[in-house]
Structure 1
Amino acid sequence: MEHTLIDNQIKEQFISNFGDLGLTYQQIPLGRGYVHAFSVNIDKESTLKETWQTISNFIAMHFQTRIGDNFGKYNFYLFYIAVENISNELKYKIENNTFSSRKIIITNGEELSSLVNFHILNNDLKIGQENTVVIDSFKKNEQLWSKLQGRVLKGIRITNAATDTYNELLNFKREEQDEIQKD
């Protein structure tokens, strides 16, 4: 769903700062909130290298700061759509930058809607009944059990989940020993 009011305001400011680089915006309903996705068309690697941070900062300052809910602020995507291949070093640097948005570089000229379907909504996933997982019966690992024997879980950052898991393992061990003794 295109949000035209914000799109037009941002586009005017974007054009005055970045010239003819194309900008597209899409607001995607997801659950009870919205995901925000921008795409910028880049003509060559040198342009991307020179402008990617400024573009990211511009969008963060002029748009992301106006989002009122945390879900929308944290579900924010910026696609750089490049005409030519981008070096792995530059791609790594940009895609691993954590400021303001998830940044993704695309070099095959896809439309924003198909990028959203693939990278955000995962509409390309096919899950059916033919994809069943068979779990073999549990086989105990003697080395693991010998390490747990007589141990107590200690530490500064012990979570409830760690404690519960540890206790469950010990109970499983005790139940197994009881079954062996009953035979």
Structure 2
Amino acid sequence: MFDQDVFDIQSKVDVFITKPLNHDDLRDKWQDIRNDIAERQRMIEDEFERWNHYLFYLAEEDAANDISLKYKIEHDTVSSRKIVISTKDYRMGDFEEVIGRYIKYSFDDSVYMELEDFKKSSKIVKLINKG
């Protein structure tokens, strides 16, 4: 587990990364791991902290490539935000890389561009004003 004030708001964000799991272990144990995290999560009083848990399942390549299993895990609504990452994309102990890639978003200035020719459509304005 790694605790850090990721968003600079003086509240903890809990990040959990499993040990490397093979396909069978990931398939058979992901819910037990999630449930262990959920038990801890229920005890937290701070609302922000309680809902900002990230659980990374570190999976060997064959498990990380199982799209069906990955979808099932990552779309599960119990407890924390769950993300399956491949062992080939993670160096042990490199929490900062995981946080930077999956949690702490920043945008490059080149993403933004000016829309010089943007004009309101009078037809759209009329439609909006009718409702």
> TM-score interval w.r.t. the shorter chain?
0.7 to 0.9
Alignment length, in residue pairs?
A: 122
Partners of 2:75 and 2:48 lie apart in 1 by 21
Asked if 1:84 is matched to 2:61, the reply is: yes
TM-score of the two chains, using structure 1 as the length reference = 0.59
SS at match of 2:28: helix
Shift of 1:131: 5.2
| Identity rate, percent | 30
Shift of 1:98: 1.2
What's the C-alpha RMSD, in Å, of the aligned pairs? 2.1
Shift of 1:148: 4.8
Q: Which amino acid aligns with 1:90?
A: L
TM-score of the two chains, using structure 2 as the length reference = 0.80
Larger Rg: 1
Partners of 2:60 and 2:96 lie apart in 1 by 18
Shift of 1:140: 1.3
- With over 3 angstroms needed to count, the CA separation of the structure-2 counterparts of 1:134 and 1:42, relative to structure 1, is same
- With over 3 angstroms needed to count, the CA separation of the structure-2 counterparts of 1:140 and 1:77, relative to structure 1, is same
5+ residue gaps, structure 1? 1-24, 154-183
- With over 3 angstroms needed to count, the CA separation of the structure-2 counterparts of 1:65 and 1:134, relative to structure 1, is same
Partners of 1:117 and 1:73 lie apart in 2 by 21
Asked if 1:112 is matched to 2:88, the reply is: no
